[in-house]
Amino acid sequence: MSRTVRAEPGTVRAESTAKSRVLKDLRAYRFWGYAATFGALWGAVEITAGSFLHAIRLPFSGVVLAGIGAALLVSLRTLKPARGIVLTAGLVCAGIKLLSPAGAVVGPMVAIVVESVLVEIALAPVGANPVSGAAAGTLASFWAVAQKLITQTLFFGMPVIGIYKGVLLQGAGLLHLPPSGGVWVAGAFLFVVALIGAGLGVVGALVGATTRRQLAVEQP
């Protein structure tokens, strides 16, 4: 003899209300979920690519790392176009750095937070696209150079500026430029930095767009 089990109408209504509340909450929690995973990914990239670039002593390694971070944030903003998500991911990555047992924490934390603020500002007017991505990457890589200069001046003192001036003059001499040509050498250096940052920013926007297309295919 078969028995049919019927659910109470009240229970079904309560279950469906709970389900709809969880789904409503899910939309709000997606913001935090994306910030958490991309913040963690940035942390993982800092550990792997950061160690690798420093180990092989690649020139402009700080600039490349800042550009990779900016690319990751641009890709995040393409996938989840919400205001503040880039800054939140930066704060999450800085928090991860704070919890890490590594010795030098303050410098990388400041770099991560300032870079995420700059990327957030660059992406705020029109969202993430290759042009704003390039601007974001350029700003982040400029900050990497500026922070290095600020930190060195703070720790080593003002003579550092004199040394850099001497290096620029030497560069101008090597290129057979007049003594005022140091400005051109500095300009060329900053142009290379901007090019690296902008290139990585554009790559970030393209990665984000490709990922969004892939997600749309997988979750129609």
Task: Please report whether residue 16 would count as binding another protein according to CB under 8 A.
Answer: no
In order of 80, 82, 117, 206, the CA distances from 211 in angstroms are: 11, 17, 24, 8
Residues 153-182 that bind another protein (CB under 8 A): 154-157, 159-160, 162-163, 166-167, 170
Residues that contact another protein, how many (by CB under 8 A): 59
Residue number with CB closer to another protein (3 or 120): 120
Task: Please report whether residue 150 would count as binding another protein according to CB under 8 A.
Answer: no
In angstroms, what is the minimal distance from the CB of 87 to another protein? 11
Tell me the per-residue interface mask from 106 to 125 with another protein, x by CB under 8 A, - otherwise.
Answer: x-------------------
In angstroms, what is the minimal distance from the CB of 96 to another protein? 5
Rounded-to-integer distance, Cα 37 and Cα 137, Å:
20
Instruction: Pick the binder of another protein from 12, 25, 126, 187 (CB under 8 A).
Output: 25
- Which residue bears the tokens 């030497």? 170
Task: Please report whether residue 183 would count as binding another protein according to CB under 8 A.
Answer: no
Task: Please report whether residue 26 would count as binding another protein according to CB under 8 A.
Answer: yes
Chain residues binding another protein by CB under 8 A are 18, 21-23, 25-26, 28-30, 32-41, 43-45, 47-48, 71-72, 75, 79-80, 88, 91-93, 95-96, 98-99, 103-106, 154-157, 159-160, 162-163, 166-167, 170, 203, 207-208, 210-211, 214-215
